[in-house]
Amino acid sequence: MSTPGPVSRREQRETEGRPSTGRTVLGRALELVVGLALVALGCALSLTGAPTPVRSLVSLPLVVLVAGRAVTVLVLGRDRAVLGTARRAVVDEDTLRLVAPLLFGVIAALGSILVVDLVLRVRVTTTSVVLGVGVVAAALHVAATLGRRTPSPRTSRRRVALLVQGVWLPALFTVLLLVAATGGARAVEAQRVERYTQLTLLDPGLYRTGGLSAAPGARVTVGWVLRGYDEGLADRPRVAVTVAGTPASGLQSRYDAPPVDTTEATAARAGTVSVLAPTTAGLHRVALTVGDGDGAQTLYLVLQVRS
Amino acid sequence: MVFGLVYFPSVAFILAPMGAEGARRSWAFTYAGVALLVALAVVQPPRVPRRLRWVPARWWPRLGVLALVAVMVGNVGAGLNDPYRFPGPFTWGSDTNSASAEARTVAQQLAITVGPVRAVSDRYTGLALSAYGGVYVATPSSGFPAADLVQTDKDPMPDLVRQLEESHYDYLVVDTRMADAPAFNGDNFGNADPLPGEATPRAFLTRLDAVPWASRVMATDHLRVYRLDLPLLGQTLRTGP
Quote the ipTM score: 0.80
Mean pLDDT across the stretch B191-202?
94
Pairing of strands A282-290, A297-305: antiparallel
- Of B92, B88, B89, B83, the C-alpha closest to B177 is B92
Whether chain B has a CB inside 8 Å of the CB on A285: the answer is yes
Residue type for position B123: R
Residue type for position B168: H
Q: What is the mean pLDDT of chain B?
A: 88
Q: Is the pLDDT of residue B219 over 60?
A: yes
Residue A19: its pLDDT value, please? 53
| Chain B residues in contact with A210 (beta carbon < 8 A) | 170, 215, 217, 227-229
Distance between CA atoms of residues B145 and A179, nearest Å: 48
Per-residue 3-state assignment (H helix, E strand, C coil) for chain A: CCCCCCCCHHHHHHHHHCCCHHHHHHHHHHHHHHHHHHHHHHHHHHHCCCCHHHHHHHHHHHHHHHHHHHHHHHHHCCCHHHHCCCCCCCCCHHHHHHHHHHHHHHHHHHHHHHHHHHHCCCCCCHHHHHHHHHHHHHHHHHHHHHCCCCCCCCCCHHHHHHHHHHHHHHHHHHHHHHHHHHHHHHHHCCCCCCCEEEEEECCHHHHHHCCEEECCCCEEEEEEEEEEECCCCCCCCCEEEEECCEECCCCEEEEECCCCCCCCCCEEEEEEEEEECCCCCEEEEEEEEECCHHHCEEEEEEEEECC
With an 8 Å Cβ cutoff, are B217 and A206 in contact?
yes
Closest Cα of chain A to B222: distance in Å? Answer: 9
Whether chain B has a CB inside 8 Å of the CB on A89: the answer is yes
Give the pLDDT confidence of A126-185 residue by residue, as tens digits.
Answer: 888 899 999 999 999 999 888 765 545 555 567 677 777 777 788 888 889 999 988 888
DSSP B193: -
DSSP B171: E
| Chain A residues in contact with B113 (beta carbon < 8 A) | 200-201, 204, 207
Q: What is the CA radius of gyration of chain B?
A: 25
Angle between helices B123-133 and B101-114 (to 10 degrees): 50
Q: Residue B216: pLDDT band by 50, 70, 90 thresholds?
A: very high
Residue A7: its pLDDT value, please? 45
Residue A156: its pLDDT value, please? 59
* C-alpha distance from residue B123 to each of A1, B1, B143, B194 (Å): 87, 38, 17, 14
Count residue pairs from A and B with Cβ separation < 8 A.
144
Residue A5: its pLDDT value, please? 45
With an 8 Å Cβ cutoff, are A198 and B43 in contact?
no
With an 8 Å Cβ cutoff, are B105 and A207 in contact?
no
pLDDT tens, N- to C-terminus, chain A (307 residues): 444 444 445 445 444 445 556 667 788 888 889 999 999 999 998 888 788 888 888 888 899 999 999 988 888 777 665 444 444 445 566 777 777 888 888 888 888 888 888 888 888 888 888 999 999 999 999 998 887 655 455 555 676 777 777 777 888 888 899 999 888 888 877 777 899 999 999 988 888 777 899 999 999 999 999 999 999 999 999 999 999 989 999 999 999 999 988 888 999 999 999 999 999 999 999 999 999 998 999 999 999 998 7
Alpha helices in chain B (DSSP H): 7-13, 17-43, 59-79, 82-85, 101-114, 123-133, 148-151, 158-166, 202-206
Distance between CA atoms of residues A133 and A105, nearest Å: 9
Mean pLDDT across the stretch B68-92?
79
Distance between CA atoms of residues B3 and B5, nearest Å: 5
* C-alpha distance from residue A60 to each of A34, A91, A239 (Å): 17, 28, 52
Give the pLDDT confidence of B132-174 residue by residue, as tens digits.
Answer: 999 999 999 999 999 999 999 999 999 999 999 999 999 999 9
* Contact criterion met (CB below 8 Å) for B47 and A90: no
Distance between CA atoms of residues B212 and A212, nearest Å: 12
Nearest C-alpha in A relative to B37: A103
